[in-house]
Each structure stands twice: as structure tokens, then as C-alpha cells.
Amino acid sequence: MLILRSLSLAALAAAAALPAAGQELQPHRAVYSVSMLEKGKAGMGAPGTYAFELKQTCDGYVIYQRMRLEVEGAKGMAVSEQTSQMSESRDGRKLKFEHRSLLNGKPSTTLRGDAALDDDGGGQSLFSDPEGQSVGLPKGTLFPNAMTRATIQHGKAGDGGFDALFFFGDKMKPPQSVNMVIGRVPKRLADFKIPEGGEALAENRGRIYYRGAFFNTDPKDKNGGEAAYEMSSLMLDNGIELYGTHEEGEGGIEYRISRLEPLPKPTCN
């Protein structure tokens, strides 16, 4: 699942069959080609790249992701880069995050901190940069991998969707409310090909297609009840994403997997 902080430099409730923590994700490295969208259609912007890596540890998972885009601004073309590193415990209750944005190679924003959920499902996020800031996490908040696992569980169970609260530390704001709709794979994506060398990771794997609308829950939000952004995704039932879109206003991006390789699983006692 691609996680973007904002396209202007910018996703899942109890699982149906098993607890979310019981759904294993496939460690892998993937590269995607990125194109710009204008009103939902391919635009004329310069292409970009998106790199994603999911490592499994004995305690949970670590996500690395990097997005590089060339965007047109008031002073011409600019190169925007976003990098994220997130460590999430296997039970989905602890998250350590660091998000960085650069514009033309110069640091723009940095956010880092930790978040934890208690036995009741609520908790708090404490930021170390900027220092001293905190955000409350209501009961039912899900972190990135927990959201992915929940989506897979609902997809396997044949559910049409679900609602959840989502947090990954991109802003010093409360978790977003997410409405997920799981449906049939569109015809245009039905024969989506797996990159050469990654076929074994897709063998005998089901495909799940979903759309998500993300709403800000901050009382100061002025979106008037409209989604802050929407996304769609085609992924395998082991968590490997093949295709996705991220739309905000009339703009957005579309990304397609171009390279896929497995990463080793740890040997744990």
C-alpha cells in the first residue's frame, strides 16, 4: 500500500476470519513506474519512480519507501522526493516512524516518532521531531501493516468493505477515518502481468482490488465532509501491491509494478 503524505508534496476494524496479526505478509522489494493523473486520466507530467521494501523481522515488519517525482511549479520543474521508514510490531500495536520530504535536494519537512496502542485498542503517538508533540489515538486505530492485513482478511472473506481509523505519523493530527470498498478486479487489470523474476511470489495467489476514501477527523478540518484523498489498489493476498492510484482534488498519480524480488525471512528462536 503506497503511503503518500500529500501530492502537493503528498491506505484498513476487526478482521473477518483471523485476527489481523495472524495474516503473514510476504517480504519483498518492488519498484514501480509512476505517471501523473489529471481528473483521473493519464496526464502529461514527467514520469517518476516509487521504490518499496518490506522486511520481516522476528518482532514484526519494517517498511522502506521512496517516491521521486518531477512536478511543475511556479518557477518551473522541481524534483520532489519523499522517503519513509516504519517499523511495526507483529501484533500491530507499536509503530516507529520517520518521514522526510526534499525539494530539489533540500530538506523540506521531517517527522519522526513512536506510536503505541494499549489493550483497549487506543493509545498515543509521541513525536521526537518536532520534539514534545503528541497525538491521541482512538480505539480502533490501525497502523500500515495492520491495515493491509485487515484488507486481505476482508477480501478473502468476501466482504464488500469496512471502515477503520488509520495512522502512520505523517502529520501531527488525529488518525484519518477510512472507508474501504473491496470489489471485483476491473477488466483492465484482470491480466496484469507479474514482472519477470517475481512470478514465484504470485503463484497460486488471489488478487484483491479495493478503493479507499480517507477523511480527516480533526475538528478544524475545512474539507466539508469530502475525502482528503482517495486511492485504489490491486494487490496479491500476500500483501504485494501490483498497481495503484492516489488522487487528491483533480490531480494524482498512477503507479505500476516494474520489478519484484523476494526478501529472505528471518530465522527466529
List pLDDT tens digits, range 102-139: 988 888 899 999 999 999 999 999 999 999 899 999 99
pLDDT cut 70: percent of the chain above it: 87
pLDDT attached to residue 71: 77
Q: What is the pLDDT of residue 3?
A: 57
Confidence category of residue 5, pLDDT binned at 50, 70, 90: very low
Contact between residue 93 and residue 30 where contact means Cβ atoms under 8 Å apart = no
Q: Quick one: pLDDT at residue 222?
A: 65
Quick one: pLDDT band at residue 101, thresholds 50, 70, 90? very high
**DSSP characters over 117-146:** E-TTS-EEEEEEETEEEEEEE-TTEE-HHH
Beta-carbon contacts of residue 164 (< 8 Å; ≥ 6 apart): 12, 13, 140, 142, 147, 150, 177, 178, 180
Least confident of 71-85, 145-159, 255-269: 71-85
What is the rounded average pLDDT of the residues 180-203?
95
Which pLDDT tens digit goes with each residue over 28-84?
Answer: 999 999 998 876 677 666 679 999 999 999 999 999 999 999 877 677 788 999 999
**Cell numbers found for residue 81:** 522526493
Task: Say what the pLDDT of residue 47 is.
Answer: 78
**For residue 17, what is the DSSP state?**
S
Looking at residue 10, its pLDDT comes to 34
Residue 148, pLDDT > 60, answer yes
Q: How far apart are CA 247 and CA 231, in angstroms?
A: 6
Quote the CA–CA distance of 36 and 41 in Å, as a whole number.
Answer: 8
Of 135, 147, 141, 112, the C-alpha closest to 218 is 135
Q: What is the dihedral of CA 17, 262, 230, 219, to 10 degrees?
A: 70
pLDDT of residue 36: 87
Work out the average pLDDT over 215-233. 83
Residue 225 has pLDDT above 90, yes or no: no
